[in-house]
Amino acid sequence: MKIKTILHKTVPIASAIRNAYIDFSRMDVSVVSVVSDIVRNGKPLIGYGFNSNGRYAQEGIIKTRLIPRLLESRESDLLTDDGRNFDPTKAWQIMMRNEKPGGHGERSVAVGVLDMAIWDLVAKIEDRPLYAVLADRFNAGLANRDVYVYAAGGYYYPGKDIEQLKAEMLSYLDLGYDTLKIKIGGASLSEDLERIKTVLKLVTNGQALAVDANGRFDLPLALEYAKALDDFNLKWYEEPGDPLDYDLNTMVCQASQTPIATGENLFSMQDARNLIRYGGMLKDRDYLQFDPALSYGLTEYLRTMEVLAKFGWSRKRCIPHGGHQFALQIAAGLGLGGNESYPHVFQPFGGFADNNPVENGKVRIPDAPGIGIELKKELLKVFPE
């Protein structure tokens, strides 16, 4: 059993939107096909991987460092001890050979893309959905196929006004979502408050709305927003300041009545652990949004789960960034609190399987082998064969 070849492609997911920090007009992602020598139904078994939006394609690292290391390894180095499947941890260690510690960004995305493909392949070899494999291995067999998802949107489009924001939010409610998220920090506080009040008129209460500053604020502004948000009983206040400014985060956590959510820009177990150690996050209130596709994959995410357990955090506090099927499978298999979703944007990567409706804010994972990328027709098309 071996990897025959690994194909990589850079794919645009450009769109005319922006958050408080960047615009996405030139955003792209890496997609890989890890082709095994196993043949099923006359076709080679292939694992698919991609990265989520926001941190660009990683063609350089994937092609010059990671793929050569995987393809040059001995066949048995990538397999479980009994030789019956690939071993994602061994593959991970081979990818990270001759890589120095620290500096977790970009490389974490590159490894995440390939790690996703390897887990997809592992589950396909077992002929089971990934969530079921994960539940058996890491969650005492307990899976939760009905995953809570929230609709992340409310970006700043050029020329977008309040009426358009309202229409966008209504479309998410129509799709079956019951929690919405909008961007803040890309406009003035008073404009943002108007956006918030507009959306709150569409839902039953503040718990149906989260807001996301994308790390834009300095401490005074983060605290000013925290105070202003206190009135609304919102679901959460996301990434008030720089993701590595744990002192700022601690002060906002202390000042805010609204739960704090952060972590999408921390890309390793070590960085996640620093947030837990120094970031002032409250384990009975706040949310952790580490994105396995951007953070050295599921293999590293499992290490992060171990750290969380050691610090007394429940996995239920984790709602990953990224809105992809990979994190959806992980949420179901490991018993996370839910998953992000981008109903209209970042296509074909946003959203889940085709004809897989959201009902009462939850999505039921269909029972296909692997991650289920084959169930999303437009997504499957982007992978190189």
- Looking at the annotation, which residues are catalytic? 183, 321
Residue selected from 15, 36, 58, 249 as contacting its own copies according to rule CB under 8 A? 58
Contact 340, 146 (CB under 8 A): no
Residue selected from 2, 11, 59, 173 as contacting its own copies according to rule CB under 8 A? 59
Rounded CA-CA distance 215/222 in Å is 9
Q: Does 57 bind its own copies (CB under 8 A)?
A: yes
Helices (H), the chain: 59-61, 67-72, 88-95, 107-125, 130-138, 162-175, 189-200, 219-229, 246-255, 269-278, 297-310, 325-334, 377-380
Instruction: Specify the amino acid at residue 35.
Output: V
* Interface region with its own copies, contact rule CB under 8 A, candidates 32-40, 77-85, 120-128, 243-251: 243-251
Residue selected from 35, 66, 182, 266 as contacting its own copies according to rule CB under 8 A? 266
Residue selected from 29, 61, 180, 253 as contacting its own copies according to rule CB under 8 A? 61
Size of the site for its own copies (CB under 8 A): 48
* Interface region with its own copies, contact rule CB under 8 A, candidates 73-81, 138-146, 242-250, 314-322: 242-250
Contact 302, 138 (CB under 8 A): yes
What residues form DSSP beta bridges with 262?
Answer: 288
Rounded CA-CA distance 148/332 in Å is 9
The distance of closest approach from Cβ of residue 305 to its own copies in the complex, given in angstroms and rounded to an integer, is: 18
Tell me which residues in 170-229 interact with its own copies (CB under 8 A).
214-215
The distance of closest approach from Cβ of residue 2 to its own copies in the complex, given in angstroms and rounded to an integer, is: 22
Q: Does 12 bind its own copies (CB under 8 A)?
A: no
Tell me which residues in 68-127 interact with its own copies (CB under 8 A).
97-108
Which two structure tokens, joined as six digits, stand for 146? 């009905």
Residue selected from 278, 307, 356, 368 as contacting its own copies according to rule CB under 8 A? 278
Residue selected from 1, 11, 21, 193 as contacting its own copies according to rule CB under 8 A? 21
Q: Does 64 bind its own copies (CB under 8 A)?
A: yes
**348 cis-preceded (ω within 30 degrees of 0):** yes
Across the beta sheet with 43-50, the strand order is 3-12, 28-40, 43-50
The distance of closest approach from Cβ of residue 28 to its own copies in the complex, given in angstroms and rounded to an integer, is: 8
Choose among 365, 358, 320: nearest CA to 340. Answer: 320
Rounded CA-CA distance 47/118 in Å is 6
> What CA–CA distances, in Å, run from 99 to 69, 92, 93, 235, 351?
11, 12, 10, 39, 34
- Residue 143 vs 276, nearer CB to its own copies: 276
The distance of closest approach from Cβ of residue 41 to its own copies in the complex, given in angstroms and rounded to an integer, is: 36
Choose among 304, 337, 353, 245: nearest CA to 112. Answer: 304
Q: What letter does residue 64 receive in the DSSP assignment? A: I
The contacts of residue 193 (CB under 8 Å, 6+ apart) are 228
The distance of closest approach from Cβ of residue 20 to its own copies in the complex, given in angstroms and rounded to an integer, is: 10
- Residue 3 vs 266, nearer CB to its own copies: 266
- Residue 58 vs 258, nearer CB to its own copies: 58
Residue selected from 94, 173, 221, 244 as contacting its own copies according to rule CB under 8 A? 244
Q: Does 8 bind its own copies (CB under 8 A)?
A: no
- Residue 87 vs 239, nearer CB to its own copies: 239
Q: Does 60 bind its own copies (CB under 8 A)?
A: yes
Choose among 110, 11, 3: nearest CA to 63. Answer: 110
- Residue 56 vs 368, nearer CB to its own copies: 56
Contacting positions for its own copies (CB under 8 A): 21-27, 54-61, 64-65, 97-108, 214-215, 242-247, 265-268, 270-271, 273-274, 277-278, 294
